[in-house]
Structure 1
Amino acid sequence: MADPLQHFFALMEAQGFVVVQNAPKLDLELYIQNYRGRTRFERLFFIGRSSVTLCVEALKAAVAEAKQGRDVQRYREAVECLRVAAPNDPAAVLDKSWVGRQDAFNRQETARILAEIKVYKNNLVKESIRIGHEDLGKHLESIGDLAGATEAFNKMRPDVSTVKQLLEVGKHLIRTAIQRREWGGIHSHFSKLLFKGDNPDEEKTVQPYVNIAKGITHLYLGEYQEACDNFLTTESNTINTPSYAEIASRNDVAVYGGLLALATMNRIGLQHDVLDNDNFRGFLETEPHIRRAINAFVTGRYSACIQILETYRPDYLLDIHLHKHISTIYSMIRSKCIVQYLLPFSCIKLQTIAEAFSCTEQAIASELADMIQQGKLKARINLIDGVSQLLSTVRIDPRTQMQAEALASAEDYERQAIERLRRMSLAAADLELRQAKQKNVPILSSSVNEFEFQAEDEDSMMAY
């Protein structure tokens, strides 16, 4: 690797980026064709700052993408990164004339739209006011003023007149919230987008958009089960419009849903809710290796499942939404594979487990010890007297477990019976138990036939 690239990725690591040394399987040109809008630049720029193999190619594509748009700041950032990574590349020179022209155009366009909105407000034309705010929001979004764009889209709401227009407002707000990474407030946009109206067909068309956006939100927040449910319930035949490509592609839904399902679902759930799911099957066709990995897990070929996923790890580390969670998700999947592999055994050599999962005996011993400490695996590792290292699983005697459950049920029944008898005794004595508002309140003893009261004053004591 050349010295400029070494320096560049040292800077990226210092900024918290994950540097991917291995070459990914994705074709950058085919990959970026799946997206529209500002996310194209975001993904190219992220790959350029993370992948050693695709760095220069991705940064040059990001510079070209930025120059086709209106966001001058993004263009400056992309050129600066390319200048550090490849200083001799022609695209690494800042086009100051373009920057000046674009800055002037952006200011003029903003002033023009604001003037039009002012005229529309003076004429009290609601439809024109709504369109004006929408144009302003899209313009501000295109030049990178996401806060201003969100404000403009919010101002559309009082002037909407149809369900379709209201849904469009919600989609604008969700898109800008995802770009701003405002995960805390994005849930309010979901509630506004989906409402009980008179046009369920209109809401049905936007439901997949909401599912994908919710899935990405839960993924960012580390709520993997909820994210998985959202991706798996997305209908595959309704996300071919450009608006969906502004947040995620069909391939993304397949990867996100498949990996999260492997991390959070058991074998029966994977078979029923993923492989036999007609909706999600359409997504899996775009990423056949995800389907192979799930099939391998369901059929008990755990080592093959892990090998397939490890092959595509570099690709997932270059995903703008997934990269921070890959380590956790892969760890969850690997732990599940090990637990499932050990189910038929009461005692097994560590060497056998290491061979099954293609690692050293020392590494698998350390991994198993961590799983035991975290409560993921109920087992013991035997390392005494130089005997072959063994893993003994801890199994609960079914008879003992049944007896413990029976005793717990009996104790629960006795507690409920005592409580009912206490209430019957209160009713028979014509007494009433009120909610406590002061310190001196009636207190019931644990005995069924005894009642002990702490009186509030002498009169209440004499009355008793």
Structure 2
Amino acid sequence: MATAMETSSTGPAAPAATTSAALSSLDRLLPSTPLRLHPRLDLEIYASNYTGHARIIRLLFIAATCPDLRVDALRSAMHDLKKTLNTKLYEAVGEDLRVAAAAANVSRPEDRVDSAWVDATFRKAQNLFERLDTDLRGHRNTFIKESIRMGNTDLGDHFYDRGELSEAVKCYTRARDYCTTTKHMMQVCLSVIQVNMEASLWTTVSAYLAKGEAAAADPSCDALSQAKLAACRGLYLLHERQFNQAGKVFVDVSFDICGNFSEVIAAQDIAIFGALCGLATFDRAEIKSKLIDLPNFRQFLELVPEVRELIQAFYHSRYATVLTIMSSLHDDLAADIHLNPHVSALFALIRSRAMQQYASPFLSVDMSKMATAFKTTIADLEQELVALIIAGQISARIDSHNKVLYARQVDTRSATFHRALQFGEEYDYASKALLMRVALLKCGLGVNSKSKSGAGDVDREMHPRR
């Protein structure tokens, strides 16, 4: 049996003074190229939708991508970090805030790092770790599964609060070996998924989603845990750019999750992610049935009126309104840590589907009117249409001189004759093959297969005509 010392390779590390060390676990969450977004969102209202690490990470992401909100986001993050035990990240954010506030000439006395709090919190974390580790050793000696599970879980929560994600995952994983109920298994799976999403370890997320879904198949699993797991599955599919599947998962998430999973995702996020993925990949019938008529998803959309209006405008072919709403929402949506890498691709897909929907009812389309509807120039529109035609998304041809888009008409009569000839050729081939087989059998030219006793070989003999 493993010893109690295996619960952790190290205790809480000493306070670090360098930003790079403290932010190492967040590097993969930040955009690879610097962004300069200018969202219209109210930072305080936006942050109030989240709690715990989710709130802090989103504030830091906004600080990294939105220059106008950088100082306010860092101040809010620094304030929230004082509710945790993560002294390293607190010091790093404090240094970033000092530099940003000085550059903007908006420095305040309270922006300075509280060294007394750092020292006190470090000692508190060290004492708590020693107590939890000692308790876990005692639980291991008693061989009581439930106590060992709770001890590993408490130690994992402690490491997570410290920002030591790899150690937290180890403890949660060990707790899984001592789960005796479906509820406990779901709690462990969700904890591991949450930590690994924060660490951007999506392969592990996928593995534990499968384990969680297997546990959720048990009739004793509660609806809220199933909804949380579905939301995590949607985030994983979104990260993998499987937009169609992500949209279907998000629209089916139960509204019970509203306000009960703010440490990972907000109800508004489910509405936004489901709507954008749906508009980008669903056909018209699915948009009607899943995004507009589905009672459960309508409750989510009530939280985000602009997205609800976007769906209605797209379905009713009000393309100018669609493009206006998308333009106004772009920077707000790009400020979301999960949606940022995909928002441009989703908007491009929605625009392409809008063009397909615009052109589908007509035999010919005046490109000047279409350019006006899509708020673009005729030259740019022509390039977009060429790309859609090459990709096979629009069956049409362009009269570049007169600037007219002509739908390719299928000659039904020729197509019918072609199919008839094809069926005739297939029938002729099958008939000749059948006649040849009959002739071979009539002549006694058959192939018999006999299995030799005691062996798996097949003995084939040609029997000549007698």
TM-score, L = length of structure 1: 0.83
Number of the residue aligned with 1:47? 62
Matches of 1:314 and 1:252 in 2, distance apart?
A: 15
Selected match of 2:405 from 368, 391, 411: 391
Do structure 1's residue 305 and structure 2's residue 322 form an aligned pair? yes
Q: Bigger relative contact order, structure 1 or 2, given CA contacts below 8 A and separation 6+? A: 2
How much does 1:206 deviate? 1.6
Asked whether the equivalents of residues 278 and 287 of structure 2 are also in contact (C-alpha less than 8 Å), the reply is yes
Selected match of 1:129 from 143, 148, 152: 148
How much does 1:112 deviate? 1.8
What is the one-letter code of the residue matched to 1:303?
A: A
How much does 1:100 deviate? 2.6
Matches of 1:409 and 1:294 in 2, distance apart?
A: 45
Asked whether the equivalents of residues 18 and 317 of structure 1 are also in contact (C-alpha less than 8 Å), the reply is no
Matches of 2:310 and 2:98 in 1, distance apart?
A: 40
Number of the residue aligned with 1:9? none
User: CA distance change for structure 1 residues 105 and 303 in 2, over 3 Å: closer, same or farther?
Assistant: same
How much does 1:421 deviate? 8.4
Matches of 1:416 and 1:188 in 2, distance apart?
A: 50
How much does 1:191 deviate? 2.3
Report the identity percentage: 28
Q: Counterparts in 2 of 1:281-360, with a 5 A limit?
A: 281-360=298-377
> Across the two proteins, how many residue pairs are aligned to each other?
424
User: CA distance change for structure 1 residues 13 and 232 in 2, over 3 Å: closer, same or farther?
Assistant: closer
What is the one-letter code of the residue matched to 1:319?
A: D
Do structure 1's residue 186 and structure 2's residue 205 form an aligned pair? yes
Selected match of 1:66 from 58, 70, 81: 81
Matches of 1:283 and 1:246 in 2, distance apart?
A: 18
How much does 1:399 deviate? 3.2
Aligned partner of residue 248 in structure 1, secondary structure: coil
Matches of 1:410 and 1:34 in 2, distance apart?
A: 66
How much does 1:162 deviate? 2.0
Selected match of 2:237 from 201, 204, 218: 218
Number of the residue aligned with 2:53? 38
Aligned partner of residue 177 in structure 2, secondary structure: helix
Asked whether the equivalents of residues 293 and 308 of structure 1 are also in contact (C-alpha less than 8 Å), the reply is yes
Q: Deviations over 1:254-295 (max 9, x none)?
A: 000001100001111111122111111111111122121111
Selected match of 1:83 from 98, 106, 112: 98
User: CA distance change for structure 1 residues 154 and 277 in 2, over 3 Å: closer, same or farther?
Assistant: same
Matches of 1:203 and 1:323 in 2, distance apart?
A: 32
Matches of 2:194 and 2:434 in 1, distance apart?
A: 56
Aligned partner of residue 194 in structure 1, secondary structure: helix
Aligned partner of residue 391 in structure 1, secondary structure: strand
Number of the residue aligned with 2:193? 174
Matches of 2:362 and 2:78 in 1, distance apart?
A: 57
Q: Deviations over 1:8-39 (max 9, x none)?
A: xxxx999523221x342x22111111112201
Q: Counterparts in 2 of 1:231-270, with a 5 A limit?
A: 231-236=250-255, 238-240=256-258, 242=260, 244-270=261-287
Matches of 1:198 and 1:234 in 2, distance apart?
A: 16
Number of the residue aligned with 1:19? 36
Number of the residue aligned with 1:106? 125
What is the one-letter code of the residue matched to 2:278?
A: A
User: CA distance change for structure 1 residues 289 and 197 in 2, over 3 Å: closer, same or farther?
Assistant: closer
Q: Deviations over 1:379-430 (max 9, x none)?
A: 333234xxx3222232322334444455556666777778888999899935
Matches of 1:321 and 1:411 in 2, distance apart?
A: 55
Q: Deviations over 1:67-116 (max 9, x none)?
A: 22111222133223323322252354333332233223222222221111
Asked whether the equivalents of residues 447 and 462 of structure 2 are also in contact (C-alpha less than 8 Å), the reply is no
Task: Give the gaps of 5 or more residues in structure 1.
Answer: 1-11, 435-440, 443-458
Number of the residue aligned with 1:56? 71
Aligned partner of residue 344 in structure 2, secondary structure: helix
Q: Deviations over 1:352-388 (max 9, x none)?
A: 111111122222122222222333223333234xxx3
Asked whether the equivalents of residues 149 and 175 of structure 2 are also in contact (C-alpha less than 8 Å), the reply is yes
User: CA distance change for structure 1 residues 117 and 353 in 2, over 3 Å: closer, same or farther?
Assistant: same
Asked whether the equivalents of residues 134 and 153 of structure 1 are also in contact (C-alpha less than 8 Å), the reply is yes
Number of the residue aligned with 1:164? 183
Asked whether the equivalents of residues 448 and 461 of structure 2 are also in contact (C-alpha less than 8 Å), the reply is no
Asked whether the equivalents of residues 194 and 203 of structure 1 are also in contact (C-alpha less than 8 Å), the reply is no
Asked whether the equivalents of residues 154 and 173 of structure 1 are also in contact (C-alpha less than 8 Å), the reply is yes
Matches of 2:61 and 2:236 in 1, distance apart?
A: 19
Matches of 1:419 and 1:190 in 2, distance apart?
A: 53
Selected match of 2:116 from 93, 97, 117: 97
Q: Counterparts in 2 of 1:193-204, with a 5 A limit?
A: 193-195=212-214, 199-204=218-223
Matches of 1:13 and 1:171 in 2, distance apart?
A: 23
Matches of 2:96 and 2:435 in 1, distance apart?
A: 77
The root-mean-square deviation of aligned C-alpha atoms, in Å, is 3.1
User: CA distance change for structure 1 residues 259 and 432 in 2, over 3 Å: closer, same or farther?
Assistant: farther
